[in-house]
């Protein structure tokens, strides 16, 4: 009977080093891929969060604008006029749907504010007309509620779409976009307000409708208000 002897042979040092090098390269590639995936996921998550924040801010702006009420007050000559004034960087008026959720009307102001890093944000201010009636254009307000919206924009501006004055509206003349809109001078509310802003290199424009008042209302209030 012939016996066959088996000789067990282990790994050589060179083979072990090669295997360790391959394993190290595999771990390094896997780590780099995972790190890239995490960074990409974090970037997408941040972009999604920023997009959601922007949509929520625009929804609140829409609430403020569509809630604007054609509120009638007295000017310095005691004539009935509309309480609304808008410029490229702010507008103020009376809203029936304030952010704070309080019942009743409120004086609201949306202002474009430049930060120390030269970026722009949208600031909302509110003064609820609960105890103090708004009777004149010159009346001062104590804004008790504030909130910052749409921060981090590189540019931001308001524009107003409407008639030049009440006479033009009565005559059904053509409306146009304006960089400022004074309800006291025009005796008419803007039909819409457009907010244009640039964020992350992309220019956006959002248009919000404004509640309107019957053209004859100022005449009625001139006699009875």
For residue 84, give the nearest of 74, 76, 94 by alpha carbon. 94
What pLDDT does residue 214 have?
Answer: 53
Q: In a 3-state reduction of DSSP, which class is residue 92?
A: strand
Question: Over the Cα atoms of the chain, what is R_g?
Answer: 32
pLDDT band at 193 (very low <50, low <70, confident <90, very high): very high
Report the predicted TM-score, pTM, of the whole model to 2 decimal places.
0.71
Closest residue by Cα to residue 67 from 119, 123, 110, 14: 110
- On whether the CB atoms of residues 178 and 165 are closer than 8 A, the answer is no
pLDDT over 60 (residue 52): yes
Closest CA to 189 of 212, 208, 206: 212
Query: How high is the mean pLDDT of the chain?
Result: 81
Alpha-carbon gap, residue 102 to 215, rounded angstroms: 30
More confident residue, 157 or 32: 157
For the chain, the domains span 51-224
For residue 157, how many other CB atoms are within 10 A of its CB?
16
């Amino acid at each position: 009977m012939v016996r066959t002897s088996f000789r067990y042979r282990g790994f050589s040092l060179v083979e072990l080093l090669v295997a360790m090098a391959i394993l190290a390269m595999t771990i390094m590639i896997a780590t780099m891929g995972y790190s890239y995936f995490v960074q990409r996921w974090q970037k997408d998550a941040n972009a999604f969060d920023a997009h959601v924040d922007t949509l929520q801010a625009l929804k609140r702006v829409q609430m403020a604008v569509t809630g604007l009420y054609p509120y009638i007050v007295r000017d310095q000559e005691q004539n009935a006029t509309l309480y609304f004034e808008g410029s490229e960087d702010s507008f103020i008026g009376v809203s029936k749907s304030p952010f704070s959720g309080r019942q009743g009307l409120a004086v609201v102001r949306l202002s474009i504010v430049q930060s120390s890093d030269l970026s722009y944000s949208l600031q909302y201010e509110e003064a609820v007309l609960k105890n103090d009636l708004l009777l004149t254009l010159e009346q001062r307000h104590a804004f008790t509620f504030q909130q910052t919206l749409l921060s981090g924009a590189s540019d931001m501006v308001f524009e107003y779409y409407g008639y030049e004055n009440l006479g033009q509206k009565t005559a059904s003349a053509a409306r146009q976009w304006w960089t400022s809109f004074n309800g006291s001078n025009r005796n008419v509310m803007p039909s819409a307000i457009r907010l244009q802003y640039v964020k992350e290199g992309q220019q956006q424009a959002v248009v919000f409708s404004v509640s309107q008042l019957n053209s004859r209302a100022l005449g009625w209030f001139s006699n009875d208000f």
